[in-house]
Structure 1
Amino acid sequence: MNPSLAAENLSMFGTDPWWLVVVKAVFCFAFLMVTVLFSIVWERKVVAWMQLRIGPNRHGPWGMLQSLADGIKLMLKEDVVVKRADKIVYILAPVVAAIPAFMAIAVIPFGPAGNEVSVFGHRTAMQLTDLPIAMLFILAVASVGIYGIVLAGWSSGSTYPLLGGLRSCAQMISYEIAMGAAFASVFLYSGSMSTSAIVEQQHDRWYILLLPVSFILYIVTMVGETNRAPFDMPESEGDLVGGFNTEYSSIKFAMFMLAEYVNMVTVSAVATTLFLGGWRAPWPVSTFWEGANHGWWPLLWFVIKVQLLLFFFIWLRGTLPRVRYDQLMKLGWKVLIPVSVVWLMLVATVRTLRNEHYDFADIALYVGGGVLALLVLSFVADLFREKGEKGREAEGSAAQPPGFD
C-alpha cells in the first residue's frame, strides 16, 4: 500500500453495503464496552496488587464479572433527583457526556486501509470510516463531552457540582491547546490528517521515535483531558465531595463513569494511532514474520498497545498523589503550552529544511542553534526575573515600619 494513501484517496470507504456498516458500527461499540468492562476490573486488581490486597474475587472466575455486577447494582439503585435541579438539563447532561465519547472510535483504524479482511464474504477495511480531517473530528467530538460535565454541575443546583464543572472546563481549555499542538507536529510529519494515512506513514519508524516530545506532551494532556489521577481535580473528594457528579445516582452516575472510561480507551487508541504505529506489529515481530500486518493480526497488536496505555493510567492512579489546582493550571499554561509551541516550530523548521533537501548536518546545526538561543534567552530572563524579585523583597522589607518594643 502506498504510504500516501492519504486523505486525497479514501475510495475504499463508503462502498460497503448498509448491513456491513451496521456490523462495523456494532463492533466499534462492542469493542469499547468490552474494553471498559475489562479495564475496570483490571484497574481494581492492579491497584489492589500495588496495595498488597487481593481485589475483586467473588463474581466470576478471578472476579472478572465484577464490572457487570457493579453495573447491575447501579441500575437497581434509587434514581434521586434533587429539588433544586434543572430537571431537563440534569437528565440530559449524562447523555451529552457519554455520546461524544463513543464517536471518535469511528475513524480509528484497526487494520490496514486496504480491503484485507472478509466479513460474510465481503472484503472490507478494518475501520468504520475515514475523513480527510479525521484528527480534527476527534478533537471536535472530544471537546463536546465537556458540555455534559459543565451542564451537570450547573443543573444540579448545588455548589460543589458547580465548582467541579467549572474546574473541568478550565482544565479542558488549558490542556487541549497543548494536545492540539502535539497533533499538529504529527500532521507536519505525515502530511495528512487522515488516521489511516498517518499509520501508513509509520511503516518504517514509529513517530514516538521521531517526535518524542510530542508523545510526552500528548501523554500528559490525555491524562488531564480524561480527568484521571493525578489530574482528577473536577471530582476530588477532599474539597468537592464528589465533584460534578455529587448529586447523581443510579444509571446517570453510571453513564458518567462509562464516559470517563470510554474516553480513556479513546485517547489510548489515538495515542496508538499517532505515535505507536497503530495496528502495525512491534519491531521484533515485523522483522521475521511477513504476515504479522495482514489479516486479523493487526487487531491483536492494536489491542495490546491500547491495553498498555490503559495500564499507564492505572499505574498513575496507584502511585501519584493528586496535584493542587494551582499546580495543575501552572503546568498547563506555563510548561505544556510554551513547550508545545516551541517544539511545533522546531518540527516545522526541520520539515521545511528537509523539503529543501538540506543535509542532516545543516539541519542539526540550524535547529541546535535555535534551541541554544532559546535556552540562553530563557536563562537571561530568569536572571533578570530573580534580580527583580530580590529588589522588590528588599524594598518591601525596608518599607515596613519598625515594630513596637
Structure 2
Amino acid sequence: MAEALDIAIRLGVIVVAFLVLPLVVGQTEHKVMAHMQSRLGPMYAGGFHGWAQLIADGVKFAQKEDVIPAAADRRVFGLAPAVALVPYLVVLVVIPIGPGLLGVDLDAGLFFVLAVMGIGVLGAIMAGWASANKYSALGGMRAAAQLMSYELPLVLAASSVAMAAGTLSLPGIVEAWQWWWLPWQLIGGVVFFVAGLAELRRPPFDMPIADSEIIMGPMTEYAGMRFALFMLAEYAGIVVLSALTTVLFLGGWKGPFLSDGLGPLWTLLKVFILAFVVIWVRVSYPRLREDQLQRLAWTTLVPLALVQLALTGVVKIAIG
C-alpha cells in the first residue's frame, strides 16, 4: 500500500511538472523574444510586464472554432496532437531531478528515452497526411527526413557519455559524472543539443513548418485547442531536451555545493538556462535551407559524434 502511494505521488508530481514547466518556458519565450526584438506586444496583457500574456493566449485558443477539413481523415487528424505530446510526458517519468527523485529508474533508461523521443515525430507525420493538404503533407515528409538525419548524431553523442559512465541508467550516469567531464564530453554535449533542436524542429531547424514556404507545415489545418496541444508539445520538448542535456552532460543534480540538499534546484536551474539558450538561438539565427540542414547533420555532426566516441574510448583505456 505504501509503495503504491509512493508511486502515485511520484506520477502526480511528474504530471504537474509536465503541465507547468512547458507553460513557464512558453511565457519566458514571449518575454525574451519581446526584449531581444524590441516588440511591445507581449508586454501589455495584464499590466505589469504583461504577466497575463499566457492567460490571454489560452483564452484565445479556447475561443477559436475547431475546424476539421472535409477531406481529412478525422480519426488520425484528431489523434495526431496527442501522439506529438504524450511521448514527452513518458520521458519525464525516467528523468531524475535529484538523488532518488524520479518516477521509475530503468536499467536501460537512456535507450528508453531515445526510443520514446523518436515517437513524437509521428504526430507531425500523422497530422500532415490526415489533413488532406499538400503543404501539410510536405511538412510531414520534411519532419520525417529531419528525424532520420539527426537521430544518428543524437544517439552517437548519448552513447559516448554512456560509455564514459559505464551504465545506461540515467541516475547512474549522474552519479558517475565528474566535473572534468565538461571538457571531455564537450563535443558530444554540443552535438546532442544541436541534434535535439533539429528533432524538435525549432529554429533554425524549422523547415517542416517554414511559414514562408508551406505556411505551418503539418499544423496548417489545425486551430483552437488542437493547435495549442502542438504548441504545448513543442515547449514540452524544450523542457525534455534541456533536462536530458543536463542529466547526460552537465551532472544533473550535482552543483558546486550542497548537491544532496539542493539537487532538484540545481537541476531546474540548468534546465532553465538551457531553455533560455534554445530561445536565444531562435531569435539569433535564420532558418537553414533543406540542403544546409542535411549537410550539417551528415558532414559535421556525425563526424564530430564519432570523434567524441573515439576520444571517450581512448580516455577510458588510458585511465583503466
TM-score norm. by structure 2 comes to 0.95
Question: What is the match of residue 316 of structure 1?
Answer: 281
Question: What is the match of residue 192 of structure 1?
Answer: 167
| Residue identity matched to 1:91 | G
* 1:6-405 equivalences in 2 (<5 Å): 17-54=3-40, 55-59=42-46, 61-112=48-99, 125-202=100-177, 204-205=178-179, 207-281=181-255, 283=256, 286=257, 292-295=258-261, 297-355=262-320
Q: Contact 2:193 / 2:241 at 8 angstroms: preserved in 1?
A: no
Kindly indicate which of the two structures has a greater share of residues assigned to helix. Answer: 2
CA distance in structure 1 between the partners assigned to 2:153 and 2:298 by the alignment = 9
Shift of 1:61: 4.8
Question: What is the match of residue 10 of structure 1?
Answer: none
1:218-267: CA deviation from partner (whole Å, max 9, x where unpaired):
12111101110111111010100111100011111111111111011001
Structure 2: runs of 5 or more not aligned:
none
CA distance in structure 1 between the partners assigned to 2:61 and 2:139 by the alignment = 22
Q: Contact 1:41 / 1:63 at 8 angstroms: preserved in 2?
A: no
* Cα RMSD after superposing both structures: 1.5
CA distance in structure 2 between the partners assigned to 1:319 and 1:143 by the alignment = 27
CA distance in structure 1 between the partners assigned to 2:116 and 2:180 by the alignment = 26
1:2-35: CA deviation from partner (whole Å, max 9, x where unpaired):
xxxxxxxxxxxxx962122122112112112222
CA distance in structure 2 between the partners assigned to 1:226 and 1:315 by the alignment = 15
Shift of 1:65: 3.1
Q: Contact 2:94 / 2:102 at 8 angstroms: preserved in 1?
A: yes
Q: What's the secondary structure of 1:294's corresponding residue?
A: helix
1:62-108: CA deviation from partner (whole Å, max 9, x where unpaired):
32332233123212211000011011111111111111121111111
Structure 1: runs of 5 or more not aligned:
1-14, 113-124, 287-291, 356-405
Residues 343 and 44 (structure 1 numbering): CA distance in 2 closer, same or farther, change over 3 Å?
same
Residues 75 and 219 (structure 1 numbering): CA distance in 2 closer, same or farther, change over 3 Å?
same
CA distance in structure 2 between the partners assigned to 1:35 and 1:64 by the alignment = 16
CA distance in structure 2 between the partners assigned to 1:230 and 1:142 by the alignment = 20
Q: Contact 2:23 / 2:232 at 8 angstroms: preserved in 1?
A: no
CA distance in structure 2 between the partners assigned to 1:252 and 1:243 by the alignment = 15
Residues 69 and 174 (structure 1 numbering): CA distance in 2 closer, same or farther, change over 3 Å?
same
Q: Contact 1:206 / 1:276 at 8 angstroms: preserved in 2?
A: no
Which is greater in Rg? 1
Identity %: 37
TM-score norm. by structure 1 comes to 0.76
Q: What's the secondary structure of 1:33's corresponding residue?
A: helix
Shift of 1:278: 0.2
- The count of aligned residue pairs is 319
Residues 206 and 224 (structure 1 numbering): CA distance in 2 closer, same or farther, change over 3 Å?
farther
Shift of 1:151: 0.7
Q: What's the secondary structure of 1:17's corresponding residue?
A: helix
